[in-house]
Structure 1
Amino acid sequence: MHMADALVAPAVATTMYICSAAAATYSVKKVRLESEPKKIPVMGIMGAFVFATQMINFTIPGTGSSGHLCGGMLLSALLGPSAGFLTMIGVLLIQCLLFADGGLLALGCNIWNMAFYGCFIGALLIWKPIMKKGFSKTKIALASILGCVITLQLGAFSVTLETMASGITSLPFGTFVATMQPIHLAIGFVEGLITAAVLIFVYEARPELLYGNAEKGTEKKQGRFSFKNTLVILGVLAVLIGGCLSLVASSHPDGLEWSIEKITGSTEVESSGGIYDTVGEIQENTALLPDYAFKNSDSTFGTTFSGIVGSLIVVGVCVGACYAFKFFRKKKES
């Protein structure tokens, strides 16, 4: 659901940058107050995991469309809303600059649509209330599916509002909503199932890693793996998904592109001139692996290379940011 620059007017883009920056500032302040240094490697590994899984588009049967994980619900269920949101920003930033996935002008919109709802609405209004009286596999599955469906519906609706506010006349609001919401309902359900599978694995491996579980002090379940081994497994999965499974991703347009094509006959909306040319040129210069491939090459190795290298870069960015902003410092004992 990465929006392209052509879908947003500069004024709308600026507004969404401000909103996303405000949420990021709040998140930085909250995370700097936490004393959980073990979250640093989790941010890196899970950021890489979300990056890799976003490369895997799964087909929505009978539609000619595809979808992929947004990842906000998954990250917030492990890291909490603030750390999860900052990790998602790292993923979206790398996708935008290095792979030209999502527009640079539209980055503020994409952060809000794909990260804010999943991390804050998903964690605080869905995950936390469901887990209030304890954790179980059934609750994890319910929260995952419900969270992904609701937050993706919110994200899809925000896209339609942003295009309407931008005056994109080729996408009438009523028609766009009626097309976007049903397809993202299906995508959200599939994302919920995948999210549930990952979180149930973590629950079996290291239950205290789940958001809110360690704080309760009521969970006596013993994990099957050590903290280190759990992260190694997730890290290896990220590399395998990004480097191998990405080769068999669906070639169908994603939910947003499919919706645009249903209305306009094309998966893209055209724009040119002014700021669009400027940000397009900037992105062209920063995107060393556009569309997750080598420039001017059809080699499938480019996709494998992009998946592996992109995952490693996300790890570096997330972990590096933690140290640069002095996140999760241990409190000095009095």
Structure 2
Amino acid sequence: MHVPDGFINAPVSAAAGVAAAGAVAAALRGARRELDERTAPLAGLVAAFVFAVQMLNFPVAAGTSGHLLGGALAAILVGPWTGVLCIAVVLLMQGVLFADGGLTALGVNITVMGVVTVVTAYALFRGLVLVLPRTRRSVTVASFAAALVSVPAAAVAFTLLYAIGGTTDVPVGRVLTAMVGVHVLIGIGEAVITTLTVGAVIAVRPDLVYGARGLTAPLRLRVDGALVDAAPAAPAAPAQGSPRKLWIGGVVTALVLAGFVSFYASASPDGLEKVAADQGIDARTEEHAAAGSPLADYGVRDVADARLSGGLAGVVGVGATLAVGTAAFRVVRRRRARAEAEAA
């Protein structure tokens, strides 16, 4: 759902940019409460993983594909404030290095794909976790629902911006119907990916999943051939082991997805591209300012082999996103540590 330059007029794009900058500034402050020495490197990993999975477009209808937005996944794994920053880093790297998502539309994309998805997903996630049994399974169920709803919510947000500042005269009702219809389907894919990823991390390091903190699965004992819940025990202390193995496994997974699996992704236009072409809202699309980038369109210039070109671009993207994200989150963490030291 990367909005290119030319879909939304300059005043509304500028206003969205101001809103996005304010959201990122607030997230920088909020992330200080979410990040510690163990989770700061993992936040960079989440950004790199989202970048990698966004390269894996999956078919959702005839001639249409979708890809992960990642807001729900990031919020549940590392917290909502940090989640906004993760998606902002991904969108910045995609826009600057790969000419994916307009530079003048960067504020629009951060607002729609970062802020709206994170806020919608995490609000629904927390609400469901509060009413469901306090188990790890509840986290995965809530993750599915939150991710599913976050994608059409982003489609609605784009439509609202289009209604205010669209550069074409397509009726808003038609845009809304088309956008929500296709993005509900994409939301199913988003929900599956989010649930599988959150479940995999919970299985190995539940203490590192922000949305699973304080939740434990009840111990079940077999009594006279039947399984019964044991009496609740005192909450177990969070695991204090190094997350290095998880970090290494995540990096390797992201590199494999971006460097190899991405070659087999669907080549069909994504939901927004398809709706834009069908409804005519792409009539004033502008050429990307970074169209001359050596990595534009997720390929390496002068590398003729498509598989090698795309794979190298994916690996570079994962590495760059990981480096920028990790550095940024470490800075946030150090500011928190400095503030705590001054307060003491």
- Whole-angstrom CA distance in 1 between matches of 2:335 and 2:304: 41
Provide the residue aligned with 1:46 in structure 2. 46
- Whole-angstrom CA distance in 1 between matches of 2:161 and 2:100: 18
Question: Structure 2 vs 1, CA of residues 288 and 167 (structure 1 numbering), >3 Å: closer, same or farther?
Answer: same
Q: For 1:249, which of 265, 277, 284 is the aligned residue?
A: 265
Q: Residues 4 and 285 of structure 2 are in contact (CA less than 8 Å); yes or no, is this contact kept in structure 1?
A: no
Consecutive unaligned residues of structure 1, counting only runs of 5 or more, are: none
- Whole-angstrom CA distance in 1 between matches of 2:336 and 2:121: 22
Question: Structure 2 vs 1, CA of residues 222 and 15 (structure 1 numbering), >3 Å: closer, same or farther?
Answer: closer
Question: Structure 2 vs 1, CA of residues 45 and 291 (structure 1 numbering), >3 Å: closer, same or farther?
Answer: same
Provide the residue aligned with 2:2 in structure 1. 2
Provide the residue aligned with 2:283 in structure 1. 269
Q: Deviations over 1:238-258 (max 9, x none)?
A: 000000011001011100011
Number of equivalent positions:
321
- Whole-angstrom CA distance in 2 between matches of 1:327 and 1:312: 24
Question: Structure 2 vs 1, CA of residues 199 and 97 (structure 1 numbering), >3 Å: closer, same or farther?
Answer: same
Q: Greater shift after overlay, 149-158 or 168-177?
A: 168-177
Cα displacement (A) at 1:111: 0.4
Q: Residues 41 and 330 of structure 2 are in contact (CA less than 8 Å); yes or no, is this contact kept in structure 1?
A: no
Q: Residues 47 and 322 of structure 2 are in contact (CA less than 8 Å); yes or no, is this contact kept in structure 1?
A: yes
Q: For 2:309, which of 302, 313, 316 is the aligned residue?
A: 302
Structure 1 SS opposite 2:142: helix
Q: Deviations over 1:164-216 (max 9, x none)?
A: 21243343211111111011001001110111000001111101111143356
Question: Structure 2 vs 1, CA of residues 24 and 201 (structure 1 numbering), >3 Å: closer, same or farther?
Answer: same
Structure 2 SS opposite 1:26: helix
Q: For 2:26, give the aligned amino acid.
A: Y
Cα displacement (A) at 1:118: 2.3
Cα displacement (A) at 1:103: 0.2
Q: Greater shift after overlay, 250-259 or 313-322?
A: 313-322
Structure 2 SS opposite 1:59: strand
- Whole-angstrom CA distance in 1 between matches of 2:268 and 2:74: 26
- Whole-angstrom CA distance in 2 between matches of 1:79 and 1:101: 25
- Whole-angstrom CA distance in 2 between matches of 1:71 and 1:152: 9
Q: Residues 171 and 260 of structure 1 are in contact (CA less than 8 Å); yes or no, is this contact kept in structure 2?
A: no
Provide the residue aligned with 2:147 in structure 1. 148
Q: Residues 139 and 212 of structure 2 are in contact (CA less than 8 Å); yes or no, is this contact kept in structure 1?
A: no
Q: Residues 72 and 85 of structure 1 are in contact (CA less than 8 Å); yes or no, is this contact kept in structure 2?
A: yes
- 1:200-215 matches, within 5 Å, as 200-214=199-213
Q: For 1:4, give the aligned amino acid.
A: P
Structure 1 SS opposite 2:210: coil
Q: Deviations over 1:298-334 (max 9, x none)?
A: 5321210111111011111011112344355374495
- Whole-angstrom CA distance in 2 between matches of 1:5 and 1:314: 22
Question: Structure 2 vs 1, CA of residues 196 and 188 (structure 1 numbering), >3 Å: closer, same or farther?
Answer: same
Q: Residues 159 and 176 of structure 2 are in contact (CA less than 8 Å); yes or no, is this contact kept in structure 1?
A: yes
- 1:1-334 matches, within 5 Å, as 1-34=1-34, 36-60=36-60, 62-123=61-122, 125-132=123-130, 135-214=134-213, 220=236, 227-264=243-280, 268-271=282-285, 280-281=288-289, 283-284=290-291, 287-295=293-301, 298-300=304-306, 301-325=308-332, 326-329=334-337, 331-332=340-341
Q: For 2:128, give the aligned amino acid.
A: I
Cα displacement (A) at 1:22: 1.0
Q: Deviations over 1:61-120 (max 9, x none)?
A: x43210000011001101111111111111100000000000001110100111112222
Q: Greater shift after overlay, 77-86 or 320-329?
A: 320-329
Give identity over the alignment, percent. Answer: 28
Report the aligned-residue RMSD: 2.4
